[in-house]
Structure formats: structure tokens, C-alpha cells
Chains A and B, each alone.
Chain A
């Protein structure tokens, strides 16, 4: 039986300061067994600007067993499977403690994005690239962030290009896209109405 009272409290606590922490959790349906976490990519990393969704399954024994977490958003990182989002992090396995919470676990995932551990990889291909050719790794990670972790599936550069091809000046296109939060349809409307 999941400890609903504690999870409810955790949800409130976590979402209270999501503007500052960049971390939030929502319930999937009415059950306390399935949740979705969201973390923002840390500044100064290839994940900057990305919004990453994490699937969270709460085991019946929670908080005595760790929550099962998996990235739903595709991410290029040595400790996260590029295939299925599985995460290699000790506190989600044998180093779990019932004093940890969904928020501290998601904060740890954010920290993992800042500080990969290629010596204990989940994705061997990514870890090898990280160790042998860091610039290529960073480029791929940035590209994946751009492609999969931005609010729209289309990258910002593609939108700019599309609107510039319609005859609008580059600087104006970028400014307008920024004002409307990256929505290219709204940007086009705004550009047309002047």
C-alpha cells in the first residue's frame, strides 16, 4: 500500500518552488502509483534550455523502496540509456534511503546531468564517446537537447529559416519568435499583422 499522505505532501513541497528549482511532479491520473517528473537542463551544460520528462512508478513499499525512474525525453548522457531512458544512479538503487524524496531524487538527476559518471555507465557507447572525444559528445548531447527536449519538436533555427524564407528579416524573426515563446504560427501571425 503506497503511503499517499507522504506522496501528497511531497507533491505540494516539490511544486511550491518549481520556478527556482526547475523541478516539478504531477500525478498521472488519480492513482499515487504513477507520476511524471520534470527537470530543466542545468545551465552551462549541453542540456541547457531543455525540459526533461521523467516517468516515475511508485512501488507499494515506498518510501522503503526507491521510486522507479526513467527518462521519457530522449537524452544523450553516459549514465542514461539512449534507447529506453533507463538511469544508472546509486540512490535509485542500493543507496536509496526513506529520508530521500521525489524532489531530492529529481535534484540528483539534475546533478547527474551536470556531472556525468562515465566510469559507471548505463550507455556504453555514450560513455566511450564522452571519454574519447568530448567535443563530439557535447555536440551530440546539445543536438539531442535541441531536438527532443525543447517545447516544440522543431528546432529554433529551423523555425527562423522557415520564416526568413517567407521574406521576413532575420533579426525581426528571431525577436518575434522570442516574444511569442517559440510558437512559429503565432510568430507568423504577428509578423503579418506588423
Chain B
């Protein structure tokens, strides 16, 4: 009798956490930027549905729970990570040669922390911050922002760019609404 009680408690607990997983998967599906992410998420939803239907007959409850959690985490972290800077934009960054004038506004490379020397070749970001090309490239291969001020460069990821655009518009709408209230 006690065994049966324990078992039904375990199942109802599992059902609860699976409902949460279900909700997360639905959210991820709406956010999934590429077809590949979408199909992976859809496959996971499908498995989840099958499992919820057949919950009592499933022998390895915990294992599945862990698998679902791992999938959610990997999907989640992939969606949250900002994509790298656009290859084209990076290839066309201006290179400047250090002069006396340069040294009045910048004296060291923030990545290697070496002092700038006249005639050094430096790469300049749109925010005017300077870095040695070899110090900047490994960073922009994986990220899209200035190491000093986090000014963002465009990326080659359409989903991210359209998300950023919609965020900007929402921000503008909020500001406009606040202005209206003030007037």
C-alpha cells in the first residue's frame, strides 16, 4: 500500500515538472531563431507529449527528466548568447597608424595592456576605441561588442538583428509614451 502511495506521489511530482518543461518548450519554440533549433525543439515537445501520455508505463523516469532538462539548458543558452560580429563589418574595420595625436586620447591596448607606440597599427571600432588587430580579432570572432564600452557591431544573425530592432522600437515607444504623459 505504501509503495503504491509513494509511486503515485513520484508520478504526480514528475507530471508537475513535465508541465513546466512543456511550457518552456513552447516558449523556446516561439523564440527559436533557426530551422535546426525549431526542429530540435519540436522533436523534444513530441517526446514529451508521448511521455506524459504513457507516464506510468515508463521505467526510467529520472533519466528522461534529466535528458529534458539538459536539452532545455542547451537550447536556452544557445538562444541567449549574442552572436559574433558580422564577418564583413570586421573585415572592413579601419586600421589607423599611431601618431602623437593618437597618444593624447589612448595610451594602451585594453586587451594586452601594452602601451601604444608611434607607428603601431591599430584597429578602430565605430566607438573610436583602439586595439591591436591580434587582440581584437579573437574577441570579435565570438562576440559583437567593444571590450571597453560594449558598443555593439552588427551581426550576421538575422533573428538576433530583428529581435534587437524590435527591442529598440519598443524602447522608443516606451519613451514616447512617457513623454506624452509628461506633456
With contact pairs A64-B142, A94-B80, A94-B81 given, residues A10 and B113 touching in the complex (Cβ less than 8 Å): yes
Stretch among A1-9, A19-27, A29-37, A110-118 lining the B interface: A1-9
CB <8 Å contact, A99 and B110: yes
In the complex, chain A residues 84-111 whose Cβ is within 8 Å of any chain B Cβ: 94, 97-99, 101
With contact pairs A64-B142, A97-B145, A98-B139 given, residues A9 and B113 touching in the complex (Cβ less than 8 Å): yes
CB <8 Å contact, B138 and A64: yes
A selection of 13 A-B contacts at a CB cut-off of 8 Å is A3-B112, A5-B114, A6-B112, A9-B113, A61-B138, A64-B138, A64-B139, A94-B80, A94-B82, A97-B147, A98-B147, A99-B110, A99-B148
Encode B137-166 as 1/0 by CB contact (under 8 A) with A: 011001001011010000000000000000
Q: How far is the CA of A9 from the CA of B139 in the complex (A)?
A: 21
Min CB–CB distance A144 → chain B (angstroms): 31
- Interface residue tally for chain B (C-beta within 8 Å): 16
Min CB–CB distance B112 → chain A (angstroms): 6
- In addition to A63-B111, A64-B139, A94-B81, 17 A-B residue pairs with Cβ atoms within 8 Å of each other are A3-B112, A5-B112, A5-B114, A6-B112, A9-B113, A10-B113, A64-B142, A94-B80, A94-B82, A97-B145, A97-B148, A97-B150, A98-B110, A98-B111, A98-B147, A99-B111, A99-B147
- Interface residue tally for chain A (C-beta within 8 Å): 13
Min CB–CB distance B167 → chain A (angstroms): 17
B80: chain A residues within 8 A (beta carbon)? 94
Closest to B143 in A: A97
Min CB–CB distance A11 → chain B (angstroms): 12
Which of A5, A63, A97, A98: most chain B CB closer than 10 A? A98
A99: chain B residues within 8 A (beta carbon)? 110-111, 147-148
Closest to B147 in A: A99
Closest to B129 in A: A99
Which of A6, A61, A94, A97: most chain B CB closer than 10 A? A97
Q: How far is the CA of A143 from the CA of B80 in the complex (A)?
A: 38
Min CB–CB distance B37 → chain A (angstroms): 18
Closest to A61 in B: B138
A61: chain B residues within 8 A (beta carbon)? 138
Min CB–CB distance A100 → chain B (angstroms): 8
Min CB–CB distance A172 → chain B (angstroms): 52
Min CB–CB distance B5 → chain A (angstroms): 28
Q: How far is the CA of A98 from the CA of B139 in the complex (A)?
A: 8
